[in-house]
Amino acid sequence: MSAKNNELQKLLLEHLEWMRAVNYSELSVDARRLFGVYFIDWCSERGVSRPGEVNRAVIEQYRRHWYRYRKKNGMPLSFRSQAGRLQAVKMFFKWLGRNNYILYNPAADLEMPRKEQRLPRHVLTASEAEQVLNQPDIEKPLGIRDRAILETFYSTGIRRFELLGLRVDDLDLERGMLKVTQGKGKKDRLLPIGERAVGWVHRYLEEVRPELTVEPDLGVLFLTSRGEAMKKNLTEKVDRYVKAAKIGKQGGCHLFRHTMATLMLEGGADTRYIQQMLGHASLESTQVYTRVSIRKLKEVHAGTHPSARPARKDET
């Protein structure tokens, strides 16, 4: 943070400690910290350092700041990104008011940008997914590990940080079950994992992980070549395999999440089961995949729209 003796800065730190005390996830705390710093630095540049100096006009100027902001490539922030930054400020001032640091909450009536209902940029077909899954060199130990990782993503649709947090004892390979511990929202959930994924994970556990393990073994499932837990470069690793498949699509770990959900829906799964697989708090988040999965819509279109049927000879 840029300003010294900044009262907003000190209160933000208290706010983050409160979040930890009431069991917010570290991901949520980190996001709130980052967006809080954005706001405090913006205020400092304008000579504002105390919460009492922030009024509705300041909050509105800050909203317009992000609306007008342009990234290095000249593109504006998405409304979803704008909303994330503003929501952090709104929650910060709500906490300040509740703890009597301010007499009134200037952000109480802040109208949030409406988030776009965006479709996933890329979703793999079943055959494209197979091409990506076949990219790791399974003649090498780390290739077996990577194949097990890709198969786990494809079978379960778990998030990147959920996979990185998997432990050996989270797996019940005999029953084909996987436990996600403290997923998004600090919620645990049990998921099925398909037989093929089970086979690759079992092979990794039998042939590769014992050679990677460094004592003391902390039980993390997927390890680096140095025996450490894998970190954030997993997205880049998956993206390289997608590009190597030469299918004209790109994406990292979330690509398999989108693909799993879409293919299950096209296979006839109810959205509530997809919601459970993905760990979505609300069905609304899951319903985006009903707009991606258009197989049934195509069938209806082909059977009812005149232009979808071959033209008769007398029409040509």
Helices (H), 45-159: 56-68, 79-98, 126-133, 141-156
Instruction: Give me the mean pLDDT over the 61-76 stretch.
Output: 93
Instruction: Judge whether residue 52 has pLDDT over 70.
Output: yes
**Is residue 146 very low, low, confident or very high in pLDDT (cuts 50, 70, 90)?**
very high
Amino acid found at 42: W
Instruction: Judge whether residue 247 has pLDDT over 80.
Output: yes
Instruction: Judge whether residue 2 has pLDDT over 60.
Output: no
Instruction: Judge whether residue 139 has pLDDT over 90.
Output: yes
* The CATH number, out of the four listed (3.40.720, 1.10.150, 1.10.3470, 3.30.70), of the domain defined by the range 7-98: 1.10.150
CB atoms < 10 A from the CB of 85, how many? Answer: 23
Catalytic residue among 63, 90, 147, 159: 159
- Residues contacting 248, CB < 8 A, separation 6+: none
DSSP state of 53: G
Instruction: Judge whether residue 242 has pLDDT over 80.
Output: yes
Higher pLDDT, residue 166 or 2: 166
Instruction: Judge whether residue 5 has pLDDT over 80.
Output: no
> In the chain, which ranges are E strands?
171-172, 177-180, 189-192
Domain with CATH 1.10.150 in the chain: 7-98
**Is residue 1 very low, low, confident or very high in pLDDT (cuts 50, 70, 90)?**
very low
Instruction: Give me the mean pLDDT over the 140-152 stretch.
Output: 96
Instruction: Judge whether residue 120 has pLDDT over 60.
Output: no
* Unique residue bearing structure tokens 């504006």: 76
Query: Does 289 participate in catalysis according to the annotation?
Result: yes
Catalytic residue among 85, 90, 160, 280: 280
DSSP state of 291: H
CB atoms < 10 A from the CB of 269, how many? Answer: 15
What class has domain 126-298? mainly alpha
- Residues contacting 103, CB < 8 A, separation 6+: 52
Query: Does 254 participate in catalysis according to the annotation?
Result: yes
Is the Cα dihedral 272, 276, 277, 278 positive or negative?
positive
Catalytic residue among 289, 291, 298, 313: 289
Catalytic residue among 63, 85, 257, 258: 257
Catalytic residue among 65, 167, 184, 203: 184
Query: Does 257 participate in catalysis according to the annotation?
Result: yes
